[in-house]
Amino acid sequence: MLEIAMPVPIQRRSADLAIAQAQPRDTGIRTSRGAGGRCIPCRPFISAMRSQDVPTSHPLIDQVRAALEVEPRVNLHRYPIRIEIEGDVVTLSGTVEDISAKRRAVLAASGVQGVREVIDELRVAPSTPMGQDEILVHVRDALYAEPAFCDYRLVTINHKQEREVARAPEPSRGEILVTVEADGRVILGGTVGGLADRRLAGVLAWWVPGSTDVRNDLQVEPPEEDNDGEILEAVELALEKDHAVDHHDITAGCKDAVVTLAGGIPTGAQRRLAEHDAWYVDGVRDVHNELIPVDPAGDFRS
């Protein structure tokens, strides 16, 4: 069994921290994450080189591209997105700037008339380039340091498919298995005792520098019914644990899996970080960010 001498404090993605330092139910969407607390099987990653006969011009492709062009969070010029069509199913792949861009791109594509389903194969640009085993260590340490998981067996599987047991309590409440793909996508497997634990594990994996996507395959045993209250609890917990965000004046709400963030927050940078935290939570369909940045003296920022 792998012995970890000292738990490592939770740290969020360094790109998100750089932002802070720089400034004083079924929607027809199939993603790499669970929705509504349920694990959704994903297609294998569709490479840009999957086929030489994938059309580059198609009326539906043009409509999806037009929808992406007008989405403020999506920058197709800096981060081109590949659009593939198979019948009325759209696949988006490529790299985007952040989690908001990833989620908004899927929402924009799913809103195009004639699109029945959107397969999300987008990856978030890593804030710190890392190898897959380095990412694995960061995820392991974050989960190990989280008190909510102290009663769970924690196992990592490296790129050689070698297993290491980081923690093996007896008795255990469940097991969390962590693997990382070559492109930086983190995969969480195993069983946990509740939806709150499932979602928290996903948020911690997203916060790791170098992670490009998180596929949360954790199963809840015994099963729990998901609802807006569960989603809201997870969002509030993420905001509370994020030391880069002053959450005390934030009021969060959730209706039909759409999260609304309202209230005051010190800076525009923290406003974006709070939105990212909400998007990191499994099951969130949309985020309405109504936070108003104020300076420490209470003056409103433009």
| Domain shared by 202 and 243, yes or no | no
- pLDDT surpassing 70 at residue 110: yes
This prediction's pTM: 0.81
Residue 22 in any domain: the answer is no
Q: Which of 203, 220, 237 is the last residue in one of the domains?
A: 220
| Domain shared by 198 and 281, yes or no | no
Residue 177 in any domain: the answer is yes
Burial class (CB in 10 A: 0-12, 13-18, 19+), 270: buried
Q: Which of 71, 94, 124 is the last residue in one of the domains?
A: 124
| Domain shared by 206 and 253, yes or no | no
Q: Which of 220, 247, 275 is the last residue in one of the domains?
A: 220
Q: What pLDDT, on a 0 to 100 scale, did the predictor assign at position 28?
A: 42
Residue 207 in any domain: the answer is yes
Range of the domain at 236: 228-293
| Domain shared by 103 and 164, yes or no | no
Q: What pLDDT, on a 0 to 100 scale, did the predictor assign at position 294?
A: 86
| Domain shared by 43 and 114, yes or no | yes
pLDDT in tens, 64-90: 999 999 999 999 999 999 999 999 999
Burial class (CB in 10 A: 0-12, 13-18, 19+), 14: middle
If one compares 20 and 259, the residue with the highest pLDDT of the two is 259
Average of per-residue pLDDT across 276-296: 93
| Domain shared by 106 and 137, yes or no | no
Q: Say how far apart CA 62 and CA 76 lie, in whole Å.
A: 13
Residue 8 in any domain: the answer is no
Q: Which helix (H) or strand (E) holds 199?
A: helix 195-207
Residue 15 in any domain: the answer is no
**In the chain, how many domains are there?**
3
- pLDDT surpassing 80 at residue 268: yes
Of 75, 168, 58, 162, the closest CA to residue 122 belongs to: 75
Domain with residue 263: its CATH number is: 3.30.1340.30
